[in-house]
Amino acid sequence: MSDIQPMLIDTATKIMKDICTKDLISNAEEGEFPQELWEALKETGMTSIGVSEESGGVGGDIKDAMSLLKVAGKFTAPIPLAETLLANWILGVARLPLKNSPLTLIPALKKDRITFKKVEDGWVVSGKAQYIPWARDVQDMVVFGKTSDGQQVVTTLSTTDCQINRGQNLAGEPRDEVHVPENLIENDRVAIVQNLTYEDICNRGALTRIALMAGALENALELTLTYANERTQFGRPIGKFQAVKQQLAVLTGEVMASGIAADSAVAAYENSGQNEEIAMAKIQVGEATKAVTNIAHQVHGAMGFTDEHPLHYSTRRLWSWQDEYGTDSEWADLLGDKILEEKSDVWSMFTESPRQLT
């Protein structure tokens, strides 16, 4: 654990608890960007956590960034914090100026491609990308693409230079289609990067979703335990009934396993950049989502789906985030292929001591 991580978690928790209210989340789902929440995080330097001071960030490491996202997931913060941290990390790697304003990244899907062409006055960038988080709510997007000869290129692009067709995920978060017509970008705003690939971005993007989901799972657990202890039936809390106790135990186990898997994935990525543990963590939080959301809503009954109760803010995001930066099946295929290709010791892979965020 880094020196700043406890303070970071404590500060983020206080900000989220004070500002990220049910009304704020509800208004955000209706299209109102929560500027007050964003400004509070920006003022404390949280929008560039995990980027070195030499690159323009506030320092910290990936463990700090993912710990912050876990808090954001727990409070279902309706802001592009994960996208901004990811985008600023890319800008740092590319040695381009960082941004304090909300950012997003294109492309978000592996099948989408953005192309760069070198011309006399700079670079021409063009393409189309789908399912871009928060595109309508940001001023700038970090663009990662390739040239015809395979060079990897990074730049920033104003959303005013793009056509944005609005969409959303199940949680009401913006997931937009972005058309990038041929835009001329000055040379000093473009960087050719040798040490960054789309796989690197996908791995780090998957970690953001794992962290967010681990936080949301914790919130679903806390809400369910509270409700089970407060809701009475036949003269006693429903949490005292054996059948409910058993379900709560399953729910708790899934949430704890997801937290450990998330910590292990972050530690493994920081230590070696490998994605086997990312795959296992993404699969775990995906499987936990199915179990936890089922049990949580069963315990709450119809109450959990009502506008008055906050449970659905977490569960709808879990259902949405589990398919971003790779579905469970896609990560399972990747993991299976690596095991077969490298003839790995499968037993050791799944039973060795997890690497904690320490």
Q: Which CATH number is 158's domain given?
A: 2.40.110.10
Among 158, 177, 194, the domain boundary falls at 194
| pTM of the model as a whole | 0.95
Mean pLDDT of the chain, nearest integer: 93
> Is the domain of 172 the same as that of 287?
no
* Residues 278, 281: Cα–Cα separation, whole Å: 5
* Residues 70, 333: Cα–Cα separation, whole Å: 26
Confidence class of residue 358 from pLDDT cuts 50, 70 and 90? very low
Query: Taking Cα atoms as reference points, which of 18, 26, 22, 23 lies closest to residue 44?
Result: 18
> Is the domain of 35 the same as that of 123?
no
Q: The tokens of 114 are what? A: 């953005």
Q: Is the pLDDT of residue 269 over 60?
A: yes
What is the per-residue pLDDT across 284-320, written as a single tens digit (0 to 9) for each?
999 999 999 999 999 999 888 898 899 999 999 999 9
- Total tally of structural domains belonging to the chain: 3
What's the whole-number mean pLDDT along residues 101-110? 95
Does residue 91 lie within any of the structural domains? no
> Is the domain of 221 the same as that of 252?
yes
pLDDT at 355: 47
* Residues 289, 190: Cα–Cα separation, whole Å: 40
- Stated as kind and residue range, the H or E segment containing 229 is helix 198-230
**CATH number for the domain that contains residue 15:** 1.10.540.10
Does residue 123 lie within any of the structural domains? yes
> Is the domain of 156 the same as that of 124?
yes
> Is the domain of 180 the same as that of 303?
no
> Is the domain of 123 the same as that of 6?
no
> Is the domain of 212 the same as that of 318?
yes
> Is the domain of 219 the same as that of 190?
no
**CATH number for the domain that contains residue 242:** 1.20.140.10
Give the SS3 label for residue 345: coil
Domain that holds residue 135: 101-194
Q: Is the pLDDT of residue 352 over 70?
A: no
* Residues 169, 100: Cα–Cα separation, whole Å: 25
HSE-up of 142 (CA within 13 Å, CB side)? 28
* Residues 248, 237: Cα–Cα separation, whole Å: 13
What's the whole-number mean pLDDT along residues 106-134? 95
